[in-house]
Amino acid sequence: MNRMKPSNTSSACSVASSIWAAMLALTGCGGPGATHFQYAPSVKPIHGEAPSSQKYRVLYSFQTAPDGDAPQAGLTDVNGTLFGTTEFGGAYDGGGTVFSITTSGSEKVLHSFGNGTDGISPLAPLIAVKGTLYGTTEGAGAYTCFGRSVGCGTVFSITKDGTEKVLHSFSKGTDGAYPYAGLIDVHGTLFGTTAGGGAYGDGGTFFSITTDGTEAVLHSFGGGTDGTYPAAALIDVNGKLLSTTQNGGAFGMGTVFSVTTAGDEKVLHSFGKGKDGASPVSGLIDVRGTLYGTSAAGGTYGKGTIFRMSLSGEEKVIHNFGKGTDGASPEAGLVSAKGALYGATAAGGAYGKGTVFRVRLSGKEKILHSFGYASDGISPDGSLIDVNGTLFGTTYGGGTNGQYGYGVVFMLNP
């Protein structure tokens, strides 16, 4: 079930591109990273041009150097220009990039990671605060981790013209390690999570950081049934921050939790009792006071779910993936647009390489696009964004360059 990156991938270390599989011992490069639950079907992508569609169009195909490789995260819209990250590629032996792209497909690399202690492998979307972008890298930084040369990750800022600055390097101490998720801005202070480190070993942390780099751990995961390995960004609902953990909880299959900005954490739901889903990798959205999310595994067919949940923790699965060609392994979160929810699965669909889908709040699901032609992209990991009624997203592989491609930016009119 590992996500298999083709051999033409650059050499930068990132555990985030392989499955944790019950949290394997911390071996290899980097550290625990976050799980990829993608199935790796033996069927190769279909070569040649994808069927033409007025609804779906590839805007840009990555080339690995110097523009990047494997855009795992979704995009961020800042006044009509989209900003994103790639896990690999770039100018410095595959450390990843930050890029901008217009809605018509004009792409520009703003920063290549891997030149010094600036971090490698940015896996999360960026956020914009007062005209400056902020993000995380899963690896590298100023300190070594587990006695290796690869660091524990960073928090960084970058201007829209590409001036990058490391605000904090994680040290594998109680300050956390491996920030897989992005950040959230609450009244000028940034909050985020790390997938490892903390007071209880490697359960992860919830932290705050100022825009000038002062970091504080507010909660360490793993001290009971509060969940472990938070891999998704937080959302703010009525002054409380909510997200998911991939593991831990009462049944070991992950949680939905809330936490205050002071660090008071509460588990709202533990996955794994029955067929309610398992291992949520993505975050949540709030639609008129009800939470919606995806789990990457579990459910009736074992290939993931879409669920809704009240703010008090009452959870209900509204769709089970894996029956027919409706997709499998939804690692991306959901976006609300045009009265429905939209998302992506990293596998499944008509060709086994992922889908874009629409789901009504009632749970009725419809596939809008199945990936599988090498030219149109393979395995969308990141969440979609809605820009004036058009959806934009990324795929981890595929495109017109290389044997299996280095990923694409695409648009879809639902």
Q: What is the pLDDT of residue 145?
A: 77
Instruction: List, as one string, the DSSP characters of 135-182.
Output: EEESBBSSS-BTTBSS-B-EEEEEETT--EEEEEE--SSTT-B---S-
Q: Which of 350, 365, 351, 353 is nearest to 329 (CA)?
A: 353
Tokens of 195: 């997938």
Question: pLDDT tier at 48 (50, 70, 90 boundaries)?
Answer: low
Tokens of 76: 């961020």
The C-alpha atoms of residue 246 and residue 134 are separated, in whole angstroms, by 24
Q: What is the pLDDT of residue 402?
A: 86
Mean per-residue pLDDT, 200-220: 95
Mean per-residue pLDDT, 247-264: 97
Q: What is the pLDDT of residue 404?
A: 85
Mean per-residue pLDDT, 144-157: 81
Mean per-residue pLDDT, 138-152: 80
Total Cβ atoms within 10 A of residue 44: 13
Specify the residue for token string 């669920």. 307
Strands lying side by side in the sheet with 255-259:
235-237, 240-245, 255-259, 265-270
- 297-353: pLDDT as tens digits: 999 999 999 999 999 999 999 999 999 999 999 999 999 998 999 999 999 999 999
- 61-105: pLDDT as tens digits: 999 999 999 999 999 999 999 999 999 999 998 999 999 999 999
Report yes or no: 253 and 270 within 8 Å, Cβ to Cβ: yes
The C-alpha atoms of residue 297 and residue 253 are separated, in whole angstroms, by 9
Report yes or no: 235 and 242 within 8 Å, Cβ to Cβ: yes
- 227-238: pLDDT as tens digits: 999 999 999 999
The C-alpha atoms of residue 253 and residue 186 are separated, in whole angstroms, by 29
Q: What is the pLDDT of residue 46?
A: 74
Instruction: List, as one string, the DSSP characters of 81-147.
Output: EEEEEESB-SSSTT--EEEEEETT--EEEEEES-SSSS-B---S--EEETTEEEEEESBBSSS-BTT
Mean per-residue pLDDT, 38-60: 67
Average pLDDT over the chain, rounded to an integer = 88
Specify the residue for token string 């049934």. 225
Element (H, E) at 61: strand 56-61
Name the residue ranges covered by the structural domains of the chain.
50-84+330-414
The C-alpha atoms of residue 236 and residue 304 are separated, in whole angstroms, by 25
Question: pLDDT tier at 150 (50, 70, 90 boundaries)?
Answer: confident
- 352-385: pLDDT as tens digits: 999 999 999 999 999 999 998 779 999 999 999 9
Report yes or no: 275 and 253 within 8 Å, Cβ to Cβ: no
Tokens of 53: 């569609």
Q: What is the pLDDT of residue 146?
A: 63
* More confident site: 5 or 239: 239
Half-sphere exposure for 205 (CA within 13 Å, toward CB): 26
Q: What is the pLDDT of residue 11?
A: 34
Do you know the residue count of the chain? 414
Total Cβ atoms within 10 A of residue 335: 18
Tokens of 173: 């101490």
Q: What is the pLDDT of residue 274?
A: 87
* More confident site: 271 or 373: 271
